[in-house]
Amino acid sequence: MGRVYDDERLAGVYQGGNEMPDASLRDWTHLIGSFAGRPSPAVVEIGAGTGMFCASMARRLNPSRVIGIDASVPMLTQAERHNSHAAVQYVAGTAEAVPTGSDLFDLALLSRVIHHLPDRVRVAHELARILRPGGTTVIRTTFRERLDALVYDYWPGLRESDERRFPSRSEVLEDFASAGFTVRTVISFARPVTAGLRDYHARMTSRPQSKFAGLTAAEFQEGLGRLRADAEDESTTRPVPVRERYDVAVLSLA
């Protein structure tokens, strides 16, 4: 499923369709950074995509280095374009065989990628290899039992396919425990992604997430039409920000 991001079209629309207001990105970055456990951490993001978290962590966490790994070269091309930073290095590679040495990083981020990784035990062992003793993995996802994105209101079929794609909380925690990780905490955190439904509709027109690949053109247009109608009904003077909530699992090595 990760291979869908080799599609130049999806890579090209991903940044515009998934970026968030800078205040939201700031809050997310400080939350993730709070789990680093030491000043100037060495940071790796696996499945870095177009690099929005890599650049934000470089700007805000005073890291010694940030490496962004992704299996998709088109996504990394977009990362260089939108989120290049002197402290960030983008590298092609996979979560299952991370192309770095061992014992290098204090903090690893996996944001919206765990559902693309069927062999989680292997990935967890790779993270245990590349992290230093005491290092931490932060998994930002939506656990299967808590799928609550707004897209499901407009494309209910996506909920069914995501129930097959996304792992549960216990599956993730057990797989990481098998590689030596201990659960520090699991929290829920939400921040606005758009100022209102009009902006949300505008970004959805580009089908900016891999999940839309499972819809026919007619199914996509039907949901988009209902979203457009709701967006047109929304007050222009008092739009309601659209928030996205994620589960955040924080797992550390001894």
Ligand X SMILES: C[S@@+](CC[C@H](N)C(=O)[O-])C[C@H]1O[C@@H](n2cnc3c(N)ncnc32)[C@H](O)[C@@H]1O
Can residue 43 be called a binding residue for ligand X (CB under 6 A)? Answer: no
Can residue 95 be called a binding residue for ligand X (CB under 6 A)? Answer: yes
Least distance from C-beta 225 to ligand X, angstroms?
25
Task: Output 139 or 173, the one with its CB closest to ligand X.
Answer: 139
Can residue 75 be called a binding residue for ligand X (CB under 6 A)? Answer: yes
Strand-pairing partners, residue 136, are 107, 252
> Residue 241: what are its φ and ψ, rounded to 5°?
-55, 140
Would strands 242-252 and 182-194 be described as parallel, antiparallel, or unpaired? Answer: antiparallel
Can residue 48 be called a binding residue for ligand X (CB under 6 A)? Answer: yes
Q: Which stretch binds ligand X (CB under 6 A): 47-55, 145-153, 171-179, 190-198?
A: 47-55
Residues of this chain, 227-246, that bind ligand X according to CB under 6 A: none
Q: Which two tokens stand for residue 80?
A: 């260089």
Contacting ligand X (CB under 6 A), which of 13, 113, 124, 149?
113
d(Cα 61, Cα 71) in Å, to the nearest integer?
25
d(Cα 218, Cα 149) in Å, to the nearest integer?
21
Contacts (Cβ under 8 Å, ≥6 apart) of 98: 44, 46, 69, 126, 127, 129, 130
Contacting ligand X (CB under 6 A), which of 17, 33, 47, 214?
47
Can residue 162 be called a binding residue for ligand X (CB under 6 A)? Answer: no
In the β-sheet with 88-92, what is the strand arrangement from edge to edge? Answer: 88-92, 65-70, 42-46, 105-111, 131-141, 242-252, 182-194
Can residue 191 be called a binding residue for ligand X (CB under 6 A)? Answer: no
Can residue 56 be called a binding residue for ligand X (CB under 6 A)? Answer: no
d(Cα 204, Cα 151) in Å, to the nearest integer?
9
Task: Output 3 or 38, the one with its CB closest to ligand X.
Answer: 3
Please give the size of the binding site for ligand X, defined by CB under 6 A. 21
Can residue 111 be called a binding residue for ligand X (CB under 6 A)? Answer: yes
- Applying CB under 6 A, the residues found at the interface with ligand X are 2, 5, 18, 46-49, 52, 69-72, 75, 94-96, 111-113, 116-117
